[in-house]
Chains A and B, each alone.
Chain A
Amino acid sequence: MMLRALPPASASPTAALPRMATRAARSGMGCVPSQMGPRLMGVRSFSTDPLAAETLSPPPGEIYTSEHLAIQDSIRRFVQKEINPHVDQWEAAGIFPAKDLFRKYGALGFLGLTKPVENGGQALDFTYSVAAAEALGEADCGGVPMAIGVQTDMATPALARFGSADVRRQFLTPSVSGEMVACLGVSEVGAGSDVALLTTSATKDGDDYVINGGKMWTTNGEQADWMCCLLNTSPAASAAEVHTNKTMVCIPMDTRGVSVSPRLDKLGMRSSDTVQVTFENVRVPQAFRIGDEGKGFIYQMHQFQEERLFCAAGALRPMQKIIDETAAYCSQRQVFGKPVLANQAVRFKLAELKTEVEELRALLYRAVAKYTAGDDVTLLASMCKLKTGRLARRVSDSCLQYWGGMGYMNETRVSRFYRDHRLFSIGGGADEVMLEIICKLGGLAPQMKGKK
């Protein structure tokens, strides 16, 4: 499925301006990295606002201005103070206090980076989400950054872009301030990789939808106030129609007929609550629909692009940290009369992994720069997600090995990431699903006879 990057949230006050001007005005930058000619690369550009202090544009190959760096700094401090001291406790409890934490994080404005100004956001471009995802990687677990990501970049992008002013006021504004916790309902017991197979359905009754079915592996589900739910608003009469019979609806989780299973017991991401949700004659106003009926699948495919780029960005810092911590441990741990790191096989392995993390970063920044410039990046985003899943597994597995018995202990961070990072190859589209997309868009799929 080829998709163009969609325009920024319609309510943004600058939405009417041409894309380039919008971005420049927002970030104070004169030009966008992907559109800088080689001549312009590295040249500092100045804002058109004469009063504004100059913004240092990103160095070549990077995507962050000084504002991005300032935001990252603030987020890292938040993580160090408000998240990390509590992670062990949250991991043991199998849940973190989303309401409390989101309210604090929302008060700083970071739940609304890319969201429309009228909903309390700053209407910044997607590079800011990526910067935030990277900074959240400072957390000592994967679960809390993932939960924040669901709120900011997985359950809300479609609402921000296509939701009516009313539905945004009702669900987006409180999700930006942190008063409400959001969850995303796409996967079902019978439809994970093959999203089109989902069976949750809504029938119309007066001004309402009546919803039946259920969702599986719902992150934040236990604490969520509302769900961005993908469901069928008409039966698919033919195979082609599975892409056009779907609609996105905001479902308040306290609506009668919504029930939430006991928390699911997981291998990793233990700070994050995951549940199964069941809908039995759940009645919500049709006004809670996001955008148009029948466009839900397209919206979700678009939402997936941001989810996948967010996932890649979030994995960078933890991988870097694990590699560095492993090197530090191995330089003091003695085996056969010398530090573990004195073995070339060990440090070469770490050097190679470090190189691959930078490869992923380069691919991510390129994808993000193209995406913010308005290009379709389905192919690159899928490659990012694939590489993230694969690499995160290799980094945590290889590093854990060099910690020996300590690596197998729950007290070391490497073992937590070994469990947490295993998800990246499954959640948000499994590696194989990414490979299928890459085959299709990269011209590697066989031509099927008699099939379009």
Chain B
Amino acid sequence: MITRSAAHSRVHRTFSRHLKVMVGVKRVIDYAVKIRVKPDKSGVETANVKMSMNPFDEIAVEEAVRLKEKKVATEIIAMTVGPTAAQEQLRTALAMGADRAVHVVTDAETLPIHVAKLMKAVCEKESPDLVILGKQAIDDDSNQTGQMLAALMDWPQGAFASAVSIKDGGLEVTREVDGGLETLAMKLPAVITADLRLNEPRYATLPNIMKAKKKKIDKFTTDELGVELKQHLKVLSVEDPPKREGGAKVESVDELIDKLRNVAKVID
């Protein structure tokens, strides 16, 4: 375990250059909204539904802002792939403390591989030293983009980070794995994805919200970045989860085991 101040001085020594952090921000249906499936089962209803920043991305932004407050990072770029309205989520990231933003504007359905390729294109333009993404988005729960980006860039990855520190000019990332914590050391540039326990995101202050609208958002189309959004998957149908049926009371442990074995068929 290294102390914060030790991390500080070491970082200053190692990074005399500017340490640039890029964070991914996705516009998703707000976590508190009750999701409704469209009548034609083609997807979920998004019209007139409150949209927010993916909560794991908030954690990613928060981590970047904390790195900047610790003077480890000097610039934070928030990036999104999404419709014009996704600008609202970029604005939230800017209000939390990102310095500027990149918006890849598209109305198309995007798969993790598309987003990873677009992020690669932006990484090539911006050359960040560290990319922080959420571990997954709460809409499609894919949990792929960070890993794919790391592979495309051939950068080390630390997925599901629950703690991040700078050590010896590289990163030390603690991950929650089955049975405990795993600590990885990696060189920069790298990709990490934020787990729920990495930090608790701040609320944006009023002055920062007002400042955010003065910050720059660069816009690109997918064509400009040379990425073709080829659809590899076809959604056949989106359905509601099955309705919960009322439970039944059992008289004895034997009956319970019998039901589990023969009715629910969950044990044999």
Contact = CB atoms under 8 A, between A and B. Distances in A.
Interface residues of A, number: 28
A237 interface: no
A109 B213 contact: no
B207 A56 contact: no
Interface stretch (A70-78, A304-312, A374-382): A70-78
B212 A70 contact: yes
B92 A28 contact: no
Interface string B96-118: 00000100000000000000000
Contact of A51 (B87, B205, B216): B216
A399 to B, nearest CB: 19
A53 B203 contact: no
Interface in A63-89: 66-67, 69-71, 73-75, 77-78, 81
B69 to A, nearest CB: 16
Interface in B167-201: none
A55 interface: yes
Contacts of B95: 70, 74
B88 interface: yes
A113 interface: yes
Contacts of A53: 87, 91, 94, 101, 212-217
Contacts of A70: 88, 91-92, 95, 204, 209, 212
A149 interface: no
A49 interface: yes
Interface residues of B, number: 22
A109 B216 CA distance: 23
A144 B49 CA distance: 28
B205 A74 contact: yes
Interface string A26-48: 00100000000000000000010
Contacts of A113: 206
B210 interface: yes
Most chain A beta-carbon contacts within 10 A, residue among B95, B206, B209 = B206
B203 A67 contact: no
Contacts of B74: none
Interface string A94-113: 00000000000001111011
A67 B210 contact: yes
B144 interface: no
Contacts of B209: 67, 70-71, 74
A55 B213 contact: yes
A52 interface: yes
B206 A52 contact: no
Interface string B210-235: 10111111000000000000000000
Contacts of B85: 56
A122 interface: yes
B216 A110 contact: no
B143 interface: no
A71 B91 CA distance: 11
B127 interface: no
Contacts of B205: 74, 107-109
Contact of B88 (A49, A52, A69): A69
Given A52-B213, A53-B216, A67-B213, A112 B206 contact: yes
A75 B204 CA distance: 9
Contacts of B101: 53
Interface string A119-139: 000101000000000000000
Nearest to B101: A53
A54 B217 CA distance: 9
A54 B209 CA distance: 14
Nearest to A110: B206
A70 B210 CA distance: 9
B52 interface: yes
Contacts of B216: 51, 53
Contacts of B52: 73
B171 to A, nearest CB: 29
A122 B212 CA distance: 14
B204 A66 contact: no
Interface string B114-152: 000000000000000000000000000000000000000
B92 A73 contact: yes
Contact of A74 (B204, B214, B217): B204
Contacts of B217: 53
Contacts of B204: 70, 73-74, 108
Contacts of A81: 203
Most buried by A among B85, B91, B94: B91
Contact of A122 (B87, B210, B214): B210
B206 A122 contact: yes
A70 B52 CA distance: 10
B213 A56 contact: no
Contacts of B207: 109, 122
Interface of B: 52, 85, 87-88, 91-92, 94-95, 101, 203-207, 209-210, 212-217
The 5 closest A-B pairs by CB, nearest first: A109-B206, A74-B203, A108-B205, A77-B203, A74-B204
Given A28-B213, A53-B94, 7 more contacts: A51-B214, A53-B214, A53-B216, A70-B88, A74-B205, A75-B203, A122-B210
23 contacts: A51-B214, A51-B216, A52-B213, A53-B212, A53-B215, A53-B216, A56-B85, A66-B87, A66-B88, A66-B91, A70-B88, A70-B91, A70-B95, A73-B52, A74-B203, A74-B205, A74-B209, A75-B203, A78-B203, A108-B204, A108-B206, A112-B206, A122-B210
Interface of A: 28, 47, 49, 51-56, 66-67, 69-71, 73-75, 77-78, 81, 107-110, 112-113, 122, 124
